[in-house]
Chain A
Amino acid sequence: MDQSGKQKPDEQEISRRVFFARLGIGSLGLATVGTLSFAYQYMSPNVLYEPSPIVNAGNVDEYSMNSVTMHAAEAIYVVRLPEGIFSLTMICTHLGCMTAWKPELGIIACPCHGSRFSEEGQKLAGPAPRPLPWLRTWLSDDRDVMVDRSTDVPPFQFLRI
């Protein structure tokens, strides 16, 4: 009775039961991955009805020298210094609160957790991890200040007037 071939099957060989079990688990795994990716795609909106990131901040001549102008609805500052004009985001780099220019102190302050910034956006105090980013700014043909709120630029790139 030589049954050694049946009792000790080749390690490479898998039984029908194991094969179908693996096939089942494998297809369940594939279906799970598919469901997750479907869910992720469905839950990520493809079209956003949010305001345009590019805003017109009015004629450049309306900004007087050494001034910080708040545009609260657009959440940007337009700053005019002797070196030129530039714009900063009003949104604090800490947790996204709206900062405010304090003319009596000459600083930008965040009401939520007390971060403070200079008029050039440099961090002075508080929990904010980064300075306020400078936003891409240019002049339109009508000499209107245009700001792209979705694009940061390296600081101290003044727009010479």
Chain B
Amino acid sequence: MQPRTEATLGRLMASRLWKSIFRSGRGTSTLHRSMAIQQSVLLHILPAKVRRRMLNFDATWYLGTLTLGTFLVLVITGILLMFYYHPSVPQAYADMKDLRYVVSSGLFLRNLHRWSAHAMVLLAFAHMFRVFYRGAYRPPREFNWVVGVILLLITLLLSYTGYLLPWDQLAFWAITVGSNISSAVPIVGQKIHFLMLGGNQVNANALLRFYVLHCVILPLAAVLFIAVHFWRIRKDGGLYVQQSEPAKGAGETPVSTEDSAQEAVAKP
């Protein structure tokens, strides 16, 4: 960087305006670096320090981050699709066809939304399998596993509610079958079915209900639980990395990993 630019930047960062926005001010000390993370509303959910091992591809295969990435793609493409989509009968089907054949880049955005939706479900499952088989759900992370299960359910519900919106034969019969499954719930099954569809059959009310759930309620719930999920990662001691856990029974003589491995094998 040229000395003059650097000097200008230095003056700017020393100014009152800069300091009023970025309280941490200048500096490259560890304190300043951690302050820069902690005092930004967008970054405060991240830990101030991360072990290098946690960022390795091996540690997580980045499955959780990729799931978040597909979610962000879905939010952006979904908002763009909403500019051309009316959740009404039979306009919804015509709008879907318009997005395919008439709207500039409509086909690309719709396909991106659809493929990202499939990818998000796949990645969420892959993430959970990874967490399960690595044993990363164990204490102190057991509550975050529960939050993850809630997020999986929200993901599946988003997938299910979005399936009706094209309002074609596939959508109609899939939701007819899916909503009839809820009728099998003892005693209140018919009531759930009626509430979900806003009537006795998949109709204009059902389309509108699924639209509101898909575009407002479920995404808000997802954002809320994603925030809790990420905050818990930080509170539970960061991402799970093998051998990053404190030894069992602090205060005991530390044992080498080989010993504990033998111990684990020796247990019935």
A residues with a Cβ closer than 8 A to B are 40, 43-45, 48-50, 94-97, 112
Cβ of B195 under 8 Å from chain A: yes
A112 touches B177 (CB 8 A): yes
Q: Which of B180, B199, B201, B205 contacts A95 (CB 8 A)?
A: B180
Please, how many angstroms separate the alpha-carbon atoms of A48 and B206 in the complex? 12
A80 to chain B, nearest CB (A): 28
A112 touches B173 (CB 8 A): yes
Closest to B209 in A: A43
B194 to chain A, nearest CB (A): 7
B173 touches A97 (CB 8 A): yes
A50 touches B199 (CB 8 A): yes
Please, how many angstroms separate the alpha-carbon atoms of A83 and B176 in the complex? 35
Please, how many angstroms separate the alpha-carbon atoms of A133 and B130 in the complex? 48
B195 touches A95 (CB 8 A): no
Q: Which of B177, B195, B204 contacts A96 (CB 8 A)?
A: B177
What are 20 of the A-B contact pairs (CB < 8 Å)? A40-B195, A45-B199, A45-B205, A48-B200, A50-B200, A50-B201, A50-B203, A94-B180, A95-B176, A95-B177, A95-B180, A95-B181, A96-B177, A96-B179, A96-B180, A97-B173, A97-B176, A97-B177, A112-B173, A112-B177
Give the most central of A40, A44, A96: most B CB within 10 Å.
A96
B177 touches A44 (CB 8 A): no
Contacts of A43 in B (CB 8 A): 195, 198
B206 to chain A, nearest CB (A): 11
Interface of A is mostly: loop
Please, how many angstroms separate the alpha-carbon atoms of A72 and B185 in the complex? 29
B158 to chain A, nearest CB (A): 20
B176 touches A44 (CB 8 A): no
- B42-84 near A? 1/0 per residue, CB < 8 Å: 0000000000000000000000000000000000000000000
Size category, B interface: 10 to 19
B194 touches A44 (CB 8 A): yes
Closest to A113 in B: B177
Please, how many angstroms separate the alpha-carbon atoms of A49 and B203 in the complex? 9
- From residue 203 to 238 of chain B, which have CB atoms closer than 8 A to chain A? 203-205
B48 to chain A, nearest CB (A): 38
Known: A97-B177, A112-B173, A112-B177. 14 other contacts (CB 8 A): A40-B195, A43-B198, A45-B198, A48-B199, A48-B205, A49-B203, A50-B201, A95-B176, A95-B180, A95-B181, A96-B179, A96-B180, A97-B173, A97-B176
- B230-252 near A? 1/0 per residue, CB < 8 Å: 00000000000000000000000
Closest to B202 in A: A96
A96 touches B199 (CB 8 A): no
Please, how many angstroms separate the alpha-carbon atoms of A95 and B176 in the complex? 7
Contacts of A50 in B (CB 8 A): 199-201, 203
Contacts of B180 in A (CB 8 A): 94-96
Please, how many angstroms separate the alpha-carbon atoms of A94 and B176 in the complex? 11
Please, how many angstroms separate the alpha-carbon atoms of A94 and B177 in the complex? 9
Contacts of A97 in B (CB 8 A): 173, 176-177
Contacts of A94 in B (CB 8 A): 180
- B162-206 near A? 1/0 per residue, CB < 8 Å: 000000000001001101110000000000001100111101110
A128 to chain B, nearest CB (A): 12
B256 to chain A, nearest CB (A): 54
